[in-house]
């Protein structure tokens, strides 16, 4: 473990950073009161601070085939979406074909290129372009599009608010993971994500992969793979230990890996706990333009399990 990593493990550094951004933590105030969390908004928080480790989202507490049909809003969705909603419990994902028209897709691609050229977006070490919605009215409008937020709100049973956009120019090649280790809620289950294909995706340019039904596994949280955490320091293990523990779980449970070959404009919705990642890019000359949007439910505690930090949201 590097000296820099050890230094970053001290939680008081996070507290200082959080204090400097305190107004972006105020979204948690009512939720802390609701769930009787008696600690400052700026302090570290993790699943160890909560009494249970199970999702409370309504579609996780029964079979979606039995639950969705009785809801009046269900009748407002197109037949393909209705089928996807009924299969939600089995698959943990839903495909919305041709969600975005080709003209809008190309407009987004031009917008991303413009933001890169103007240095509003810079790729992270893992080739992600973060938070384009902060610089683009077009992308902000897409993440708040009523058809989309209505569907996501129906799935979670709560109003949703967009938290983050991530744009990719190439396949991520990210190893299998669940979003809930990065963006976590209490109660569990109140994060949801969408992935939009901004060009056709095939086997060569690094398609998404996922394990249908894997959202049914218990959430893999810090206490399941990490150790040595104290009030003032994070635990000894790091993200690679999480990846190893999750891989072992998926293999033990025997979930089947699926590849998602998307057409331009297709949208994939996935459950907070669905295990997914990026396949290897077989042809490095190819792009795989796409956009991910993460949403939190509005009235829950929002934090990041892996770093034990409360989420920063606009106030």
CA distance 151 to 160: 10
The separation between the first and the last C-alpha atoms of the chain, rounded to the nearest angstrom, is 36
CB 311 within 8 A of CB 304: yes
DSSP 117-172: HTTS--B-TTS-EE-GGGT-HHHHHHHT-HHHHHHHHHHHTS-EEEEEEEEESS--
Percent of the chain residues topping a pLDDT of 70: 97
pTM above 0.75, yes or no: yes
Q: Evaluate the omega torsion of the peptide bond into residue 191 and state whether it is cis, within 30 degrees of 0.
A: no
Task: Note whether 198 and 264 are within 8 A (CB).
Answer: yes
Average model confidence (pLDDT) across the chain: 94
d(CA 280, CA 15): 38
Write the class of the CATH domain 3-310: mainly beta
3-class secondary-structure state, position 209: strand
The answer to whether the beta carbons of residues 206 and 279 sit under 8 Å apart is yes
The token duo for 187 is 């109660």
Would you state the pLDDT for residue 115?
97
What is the per-residue pLDDT across 45-100, written as a single tens digit (0 to 9) for each? 999 999 999 999 999 999 999 999 999 999 999 999 999 999 999 999 999 999 99
User: Residue 233 has what pLDDT?
Assistant: 78
Task: Count the helix, strand and coil residues of the chain and give each as a percent rounded to the nearest 5.
Answer: 40, 20, 40
Confidence band (pLDDT; 50, 70, 90) for 234? confident
Q: Residue 109 is encoded by which pair of tokens?
A: 């691609």
User: How far, in Å, CA of 111 to CA of 104, rounded?
Assistant: 10
Residue 163 in tokens:
């938290």
pLDDT for res 121: 94
In degrees and rounded to multiples of 5, residue 251 shows phi and psi of: -65, -40
| Residue 232 predicted with pLDDT over 80 | no
pLDDT in tens, 276-296: 999 999 999 999 999 999 999
What pLDDT is recorded for position 2? 47
The token pair at 17 is 């950073």
Give the pLDDT confidence score for residue 4 in this predicted structure. 43
Instruction: Say what the pLDDT of residue 185 is.
Output: 98
Q: How far is residue 95's CA from residue 197's CA, in Å, rounded to a whole number?
A: 11
Q: Which two tokens stand for residue 49?
A: 């601070």
> 143 pLDDT band (50/70/90 cuts)?
very high
φ and ψ of 310, to 5 deg: -65, 150
């Amino acid at each position: 473990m590097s000296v820099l990593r050890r230094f970053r493990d001290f939680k008081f550094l996070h507290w200082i950073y959080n204090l400097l951004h305190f107004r972006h933590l105020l979204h948690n105030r009512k939720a802390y009161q609701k769930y009787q969390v008696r600690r400052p908004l700026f302090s570290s928080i993790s699943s160890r601070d909560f009494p249970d480790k199970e999702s409370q989202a309504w579609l996780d507490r029964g079979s979606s085939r039995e639950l969705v049909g009785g809801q009046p809003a269900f009748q407002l969705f197109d037949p393909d979406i209705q089928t996807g909603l009924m299969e939600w419990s089995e698959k943990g994902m839903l495909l919305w074909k041709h969600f975005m028209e080709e003209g809008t897709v190309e407009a987004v691609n031009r917008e991303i290129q413009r933001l890169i050229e103007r240095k509003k977006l810079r790729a992270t070490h893992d080739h992600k372009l973060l938070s384009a919605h902060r610089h683009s009215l077009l992308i902000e409008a897409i993440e708040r599009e009523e058809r989309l937020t209505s569907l996501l709100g129906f799935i979670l049973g709560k109003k949703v608010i967009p938290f983050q956009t991530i744009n990719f120019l190439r396949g991520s090649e990210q190893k299998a993971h669940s979003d809930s280790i990065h963006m976590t809620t209490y109660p569990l289950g109140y994060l949801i994500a969408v992935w939009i294909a901004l060009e056709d995706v095939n086997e060569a340019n690094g398609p998404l992969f996922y394990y249908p039904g894997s959202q049914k596994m218990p959430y893999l949280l810090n206490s399941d793979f990490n150790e040595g955490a104290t009030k003032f320091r994070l635990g000894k293990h790091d993200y690679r230990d999480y990846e190893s523990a999750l891989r072992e779980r998926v293999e033990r449970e025997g979930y089947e890996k699926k590849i998602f070959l998307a057409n331009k404009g297709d949208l994939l919705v996935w459950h907070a706990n669905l295990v997914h990642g990026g396949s290897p890019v077989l042809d490095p000359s190819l792009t795989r333009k796409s956009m991910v949007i993460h949403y939190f439910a509005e009235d829950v505690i929002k934090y990041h399990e892996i770093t034990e930090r409360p989420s920063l949201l606009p106030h």
